Structure 1
Amino acid sequence: MEQALADALNAVSDGTDARFSAAVLDTGSAASAVYGGDAYDTASIVKVDILAALLLQAQDAGRRLTAQERSYATVMIQESDNDAATALWPEIGGEEGLDAANQRLGLTETHGGRSGEWGLTQTTAADQLRLLREVFATGAADGRAVLSEPSRAYVQQLMGRIVADQAWGVSAAADGATRTWLKNGWMPRSATGLWVINSIGRVTAGGRTYLVSVLSGGHKDKDSGVALVETAARAAVSAF
């Protein structure tokens, strides 16, 4: 599958000056492949990781999320609310807390943003696929599942209810009427004015279910970045 994915995405790469990476897992066959190994700024896709860390810490403490935490989590994932992420960031212990949670989740290439800059967390497409495997329970078969079933169900619930104007990204690879679960991230870098555009999620295409992550940077604007991520997602899934 690695070569098939490379062939499909090399064709996409030839048409852009931006850079990108992708990872895909067919949940039925467990076949997976990764294209590109560079690290990227997460932008808002880190919000899934922040929620996973919060839930893991709550599990450890034997407690449920508070009403305030659930309120923050809902708007953080469904609406990509930045203030909610900023409120939860110190609650999980900032970058140190995120890194500690990610050690347990198996995200070995993800490093929390420093000085409170959660959107500058660095990650790889392969690590985002590992996070998706945890959220959607596809890691359970190999003994890796860390989040409890209720925790996974909660993250899935929120990722399945993204507001309509943010329903872009890897969802473009899904069959038209099928439900998708996703979280997107986007931001311009102040130093260059170029955009980071990322998307992670679960889609169904051709009767099969896939976990997909596409990370990218160096876009001249948001729209061109979204278009590239969607093209890459469709090409990546088609390779399977």
Structure 2
Amino acid sequence: MFRHPRRGALRAALALGVLLPVVATATPASAAPPAVTCTSGKSGLAAKLSQDIAAALKGRASMTAVAVHDRTTNTHCELRATQKFDSASIVKTTVLAALLWDAGKQGRGLTQREVNLTTAMITKSDNASTSTLWKQLGVAKINGFLRAAGMTQTVPGSGGYWGLTQITARDQRKLLDLVTVKNTVLTDSSRTYIRKLMRNVVSSQRWGTPAGAPAGMTVHVKNGWLSRATHGWRVHSIGLFTSSTANYSITVLTHDNKTMNDGINTIQAVSRVVHRDLNPTASTMGKTFQLPAVPQEAMPPVPETGPAHPAG
């Protein structure tokens, strides 16, 4: 969710195995369709994922970007990985990581106030908490974190409009990598804290990349949604999935959706085939993911020059 101002339109580790490009989804006739590219250390998996992600996207109107990283099989998949999207609430995980990175540089833990703000920001996608932390950090510190994290394609939204931060699927995958494995950017306790909050997102916001996850998998998720006059609904989901035998992340970013649910359906179609291909013998959680009848903390679409409204 995000409040945007009255303004004019805005401008928009090598894995083992063989790179197998497959046409992913329909695009305007004037543009060559992109390909899903996957590599893997597991025989046959790259081709399977490439084909299945492409099939899941066939005929869908939205612009979709995908990044998958499975550490167990050393598998990577990408589709439009450098395409930029308005972040909506996906940026809140970056804000949290930047706060923890900055606190670590200062040699301190989070204050109780910061704990309260970050908990509301991630588990409930609270806008006011995000704005408070964005202002506290300032763009200079956020950019400092992005440089440290190697998220070179991410550009913070100007004028305090954090929901208009420009993001890519590849940079979101890098962020999830930092949240997952030991590194020099985030301390072990910081990574544990981020995973804890993403694990405890409220049930009404647990749609998206968790769809089709195997039974027994620990699910960490953060979603975002925002409607504007150009590109319709932006609907995004990042997820981290862990168990005693599995450790992988899924990022799906979309825009040009007519409705929020169109975006959710696209994300979940991709996520189901990724979970299935990475866990071919596992049973799924069996949970039906109910799509929201009314977007929580979101308002009807507004024109680029219309009044400010919140979105996810």
For normalisation by structure 2, the TM-score amounts to 0.70
Displacement of 1:63:
0.9
Task: Select 1:57's aligned residue among 90, 95, 102.
Answer: 102
In 1: Cα distance, 2:212 partner to 2:175 partner:
19
* Structure 2 unmatched ranges of 5 or more: 1-37, 40-45, 279-312
Task: Select 1:168's aligned residue among 202, 207, 214.
Answer: 207
Task: Select 1:214's aligned residue among 252, 255, 265.
Answer: 252
Task: Select 1:125's aligned residue among 169, 187, 191.
Answer: 169
Matching residue of 2:192: 153
The amino acid across from 1:180 in the alignment is V
Matching residue of 1:226: 264
In 2: Cα distance, 1:156 partner to 1:48 partner:
10
In 2: Cα distance, 1:236 partner to 1:125 partner:
15
Q: Residue by residue, what CA displacement relative to the aligned partner does 1:59-113 show, whole Å, maximum 9, x if unpaired?
A: 001111111111000010000001100000011113x322221110111111111
1:180 equivalenced with 2:195 (yes/no):
no
The amino acid across from 2:220 in the alignment is W
In 1: Cα distance, 2:222 partner to 2:125 partner:
8
In 1: Cα distance, 2:188 partner to 2:242 partner:
22
1:201 equivalenced with 2:201 (yes/no):
no
In 2: Cα distance, 1:49 partner to 1:179 partner:
21
The amino acid across from 1:116 in the alignment is G
Q: Residue by residue, what CA displacement relative to the aligned partner does 1:6-41 show, whole Å, maximum 9, x if unpaired?
A: 322222332211110111111213322211131111
The amino acid across from 1:222 in the alignment is M
Displacement of 1:239:
4.6
In 1: Cα distance, 2:231 partner to 2:151 partner:
29
The amino acid across from 2:143 in the alignment is D
The amino acid across from 2:267 in the alignment is V
In 1: Cα distance, 2:175 partner to 2:203 partner:
24
The amino acid across from 1:158 in the alignment is L
What pairs up with 1:31-180 in 2 under 5 angstroms?
A: 31-37=75-81, 38-94=83-139, 96-137=140-181, 140=182, 144-180=183-219
Displacement of 1:145:
3.8
Task: Select 2:74's aligned residue among 30, 35, 42.
Answer: 30
Displacement of 1:234:
1.8
What pairs up with 1:12-23 in 2 under 5 angstroms?
A: 12-23=56-67
Identity fraction in percent: 35
Secondary structure at 2:160's aligned position in 1? coil
- What CA RMSD, in Å, does the superposition of the two structures yield over aligned residues? 1.9
Larger deviation, residues 174-183 vs 40-49: 174-183
In 2: Cα distance, 1:208 partner to 1:59 partner:
29
Secondary structure at 2:176's aligned position in 1? helix
CA contact (8 A) 1:78 1:162 kept: yes
CA contact (8 A) 2:102 2:141 kept: no
* Structure 1 unmatched ranges of 5 or more: none
In 2: Cα distance, 1:218 partner to 1:166 partner:
21
The amino acid across from 2:98 in the alignment is A
CA contact (8 A) 2:172 2:238 kept: yes
CA contact (8 A) 1:42 1:185 kept: yes
In 2: Cα distance, 1:98 partner to 1:111 partner:
10
For normalisation by structure 1, the TM-score amounts to 0.90
In 1: Cα distance, 2:114 partner to 2:89 partner:
18
CA contact (8 A) 2:231 2:255 kept: no
The amino acid across from 2:194 in the alignment is V
For residues 194 and 68 of structure 1, do their structure 2 counterparts lie closer, same or farther at Cα, with a shift above 3 Å needed? same
